[in-house]
Amino acid sequence: MRTAACALAVALTAAAPAHAFCGFFVGKADSQLFNKSSQVAIVRDGNRTVITMGNDFKGEMDEFALVVPVPSVLTREQIHVGERRLLERLDAYSAPRLVEYTDGDPCMIARRSVWPMAVAPATKMRDVAAGTANVLGVTVEAAYTVGEYDIVLLSATQSQGLEIWLRQSGYRIPAPAAAALAPYVRQQMKFFVARVNLKEQRKSGYQELRPIQIAFESPKFMLPIRLGMANADGPQDLIVYALTRDGRVESSNYQTVKIPSDVEVPEFVQKEFGEFYKETFAKSWREHGRRAVATEYVWNMGFCDPCAAPPLSTDELRQLGVFWVPDDISRTAPGGVPVTLTRLHLRYDAEHFPEDLMFQETGYQQNFQGRYVIRHPWRGNGSCSGASAYREQLVERRRKEAETLASLTGWEMSRIHQRMGEDAPSQEEMPWWRKLWR
């Protein structure tokens, strides 16, 4: 039985057309781009927390197990099995996106075409003898079957005893498990352990494991990630959707940075947007010492611009645990709705993320999104003075787009020029005097 210990994880998605801004939404970089990724939604208000844990587990259902440190013994009513589509909706709504514009005819009245937006495809205990548990310092505090999961809540007085208990219960605990469990045992945290009940899973009719949701109160706004690294064979991606009442969420113990955004890139990126964004994220991750948390999206849930997918409905927010949303929520009220979504993306390993993720809600409500722009040029045959000026500035624009793309991704300029084809800027440098009297 393999253990997917608290690998709370990431994502990229597609959406329906919506009129909102002057351009086309043409693609997005959703979580499906990243391997070894997980997604988690955290709803936080005061000390109240609701966590929805998704995972990308691939394998036999009887090999799945989840171990999560929690602040207290949870009652049955504090545990729920959610719908995968909720995380998919969050992913689709907040994924980095590519938008496009089309230049107008420079011989006509100077203007840029404004188009409605469109969308393209983008993003294992209950059966352990109580006597043995007591000898190991482990106490089975509670046991439930919820949906397709058998769940036990454990307390432990020694990490080594907990590791032995888990092994005797059939879990293939990685070698450093006791060391990873020790900090949580010292903090007197409890352990939420889940595995698949195959009989219930077959009855459910679901082919994939649904997210587990837990609700609790704790003064700590945090996400335990260290157990998830105990059995990892390399960096993992994690996408966190934080839903709060008052403003943006950031990490309080790791640097939080914004992903590069609002830049123009060559047209061919439209066909390679997934690869483009993976390279852009990776370069930014390396440049920040592989230990920063990247902000990919911050927006009031009342609206979006451009919309990669419609904002979540009141019912969807409630299912995620946003308990303060009123039934009569108005999407058109000034200031939006009392829900801010922050999408955070981190690539982590034990060397660069030795501590669990700690968060804080800020009062900042300034919107932000990972957004990239392509501009289709006018390709007419006009010979007016405006057309001549346009063609000259187009050469310089393409040069800047190529330089920007190289800066974002680290791609060689020769590769970029090759992909740009006949639109690639000349290798000859423009004489300096040509720019003097424009």
**pLDDT tens for each residue of 232-281:** 678 889 999 999 999 999 999 999 999 999 999 999 999 999 999 999 99
Q: Which residue has the higher pLDDT, 165 or 434?
A: 165
| Token digits of residue 64 | 């799945």
Instruction: At 342, give phi and psi (nearest 5°).
Output: -115, 125
Residue 407: name the closest of 295, 285, 283, 294 by CA. Answer: 283
pLDDT band of 380, cuts 50, 70, 90: confident
The alpha carbons of the chain give a radius of gyration, in whole angstroms, of 25
Separation between Cα atoms, residue 427 and residue 31, nearest integer Å: 37
Sheet holding 249-251, edge to edge: 222-223, 357-361, 249-251
CA dihedral of 95, 240, 238, 118, whole degrees rounded to 10 = -10
| Token digits of residue 339 | 């829900």
pTM across the whole model: 0.84
Separation between Cα atoms, residue 407 and residue 419, nearest integer Å: 16
Cβ pair 300, 339 in contact under 8 A: yes
Most confident of 48-52, 198-202, 361-365: 48-52
pLDDT band of 172, cuts 50, 70, 90: low
pLDDT at 3 over 50: no
pLDDT band of 9, cuts 50, 70, 90: very low
Q: Tell the residue number behind the tokens 């970029």, with chain if given.
A: 416
pLDDT in tens, 15-25: 322 232 333 43
pLDDT band of 113, cuts 50, 70, 90: very low
pLDDT band of 57, cuts 50, 70, 90: confident
Interstrand relation of 263-264 and 371-376 (parallel, antiparallel or unpaired): parallel
pLDDT at 11 over 50: no
Cβ pair 113, 101 in contact under 8 A: yes
The answer to whether the bond into 306 is cis (omega within 30° of 0) is yes
Percentage of residues in the chain with pLDDT exceeding 90?
Answer: 55
